[in-house]
Amino acid sequence: MKALRPLLALGLALCLTTPATAQPALPMPPPPAPVAPALGAPVAARPPLVAELSQPRVEITTGFSGTDVLVFGATERLLGPGGDDVLVVVQSSPEPMVVRRKTRVLGFWINGASARFRQVPGFYLVAGTRSLRTMLPPEERQAKRLGLDNLPLQASGTQDPAFREALLRLKQDARLWYEDEALMQVSGARLFRARIPLPATTDTGDYQVSVLLVRDGRVVARQELVFRVVRVGAAARIADVATEQPVLYGLICVLLAAFAGWLGSVLFRRG
C-alpha cells in the first residue's frame, strides 16, 4: 500500500496539469422573422407631388447680371391632356409702391395725380403645364388669388383703373412680373421643370415658391418652398452704407461723379 502512494500522487499531478479540452462554441440564435403588417393596417401612400429647388440661396455681387433658379419635381399621375397639371407661383415679399402720372405744364413734365399701392410684390411669376386660364376656372383663380389679374393691389388716393394697368405694364417691362407657361417643361409625362428668371434688378429677401397640383379644375395638392436672395462682398457693403449712412453715400457718389468728369475732360483734352 505504501508502494502505491507515490504512483497515486503522480497520477493526480498529471491530471491537474492536463489542459482542459476546448468546448465547442454555441450556435448564434437565428434573427427574428420580419413581422407582417396586420390585416387591414394602413399603408403609407406615396405623395401625389414632390418638388425641390436647384439652389436655396442666390448671391448678388457687384457683377451680378441675373440668374435662373429651377423648380423641378415629379407627380404620381401622368401630366398632360387628360391627366394632371402643375402650376408654379413665385413671389417676393410685398412692399408699398407709388404710381404717378406725368403732366405737361408750360413745356415741363411734372408729377400729377398718383396712386399708392400698399401691398405690391417686387417679383411675381406664374408658370404651368398649360395656361392659367385653361387650367383653372375664374372663381378658383380669384379665390386663391392666382394670376396677374387677381393680385390684391389695393390703392389709396386716385382710384383710376389706369394706375393699376400702368403698374402691371411697368413691372412686366422690367421683367419682374411673369405669367408664361413657356417657362414650364415636362419630361417623361411625370417629371416637370420650371425656370425662374431673376433679372439684375432683383430685390433681396425671401422668395416664396408654391407648387400646385391641379386636377379637374381644382388644386388637390400643394408644396411650399423658399429661396433667399442676398447681397455679398462689395455689393453688400455698398448697400449697407446707402441704407445706414445715406448722407455719406450721397456725398461719395457726388465726389466720384465729379472725379469721373474731371478725368474724362483731361483725357479728351490730351487726345
**Same domain assignment for residues 225 and 262:** no
**Same domain assignment for residues 66 and 166:** yes
- Scanning the structure block, which residue is given the C-alpha cell 433667399? 228
% of the chain at pLDDT higher than 70: 78
pLDDT of residue 19: 45
pLDDT-wise least confident of 6-10, 24-28, 236-240: 6-10
CA contacts within 13 A on the Cβ side of 62: 5
- Give the separation between CA 179 and CA 217, rounded to whole angstroms: 18
pLDDT of residue 36: 54
pLDDT above 50 (res 97):
yes
pLDDT digits (tens, 9 = 90+) for 13-66: 444 444 444 445 455 555 555 555 555 555 556 789 999 999 999 999 888 999
pLDDT above 90 (res 229):
yes
3-state secondary structure labels for all residues of 76-115: CCCECCCCEEEEEEEEECEEEEEEEEEEEECCEEEEEEEE
**Same domain assignment for residues 80 and 144:** yes
pLDDT of residue 18: 44
- The sheet carrying 57-60 orders its strands as 57-60, 218-231, 205-215, 85-92, 124-128, 177-179
**Residue that wins the pLDDT comparison between 102 and 39:** 102
Strand positions, DSSP E, 29-93 = 49-53, 57-60, 67-75, 85-92
**Same domain assignment for residues 74 and 163:** yes
**Same domain assignment for residues 142 and 252:** no
> With 0-12 CB in 10 A as exposed, 13-18 as middle and 19+ as buried, what is 150?
middle
Q: Is residue 244 part of a domain?
A: yes
**Residue that wins the pLDDT comparison between 213 and 23:** 213
**Same domain assignment for residues 238 and 222:** no
**Same domain assignment for residues 219 and 254:** no
* Residue 63 DSSP SS3: coil
> With 0-12 CB in 10 A as exposed, 13-18 as middle and 19+ as buried, what is 229?
buried
Q: Is residue 256 part of a domain?
A: yes
Q: Is residue 109 part of a domain?
A: no
Q: Taking a C-beta distance cutoff of 8 angstroms, is the pair 117, 94 a contact? A: no
Q: Taking a C-beta distance cutoff of 8 angstroms, is the pair 118, 152 a contact? A: no
Q: How far apart are the first and last CA of the chain?
A: 137
- Give the separation between CA 117 and CA 157, rounded to whole angstroms: 9
**Same domain assignment for residues 126 and 199:** yes
**Same domain assignment for residues 169 and 247:** no
Mean pLDDT of 200-213: 94
Q: Is residue 208 part of a domain?
A: yes
% of the chain at pLDDT higher than 90: 47
pLDDT digits (tens, 9 = 90+) for 162-204: 889 999 999 999 999 999 888 999 999 999 999 999 999 999 9
**Residue that wins the pLDDT comparison between 89 and 3:** 89
Confidence of residue 222 (pLDDT cuts 50, 70, 90): very high
**Residue that wins the pLDDT comparison between 55 and 160:** 55
Q: Which domain holds residue 244?
A: 233-266
**CATH number of the domain enclosing 224:** 2.60.40.2550
Domain total of the chain: 2
pTM beyond 0.85, yes or no: no
**Closest to 49 measured CA to CA, from 87, 75, 86, 30:** 75
Confidence of residue 152 (pLDDT cuts 50, 70, 90): confident
**Same domain assignment for residues 191 and 224:** yes
**Same domain assignment for residues 211 and 243:** no
Q: What nine digits make up the cell of 70?
A: 429651377
pLDDT of residue 134: 92
**Same domain assignment for residues 68 and 182:** yes
Confidence of residue 244 (pLDDT cuts 50, 70, 90): low
Q: Taking a C-beta distance cutoff of 8 angstroms, is the pair 49, 221 a contact? A: yes
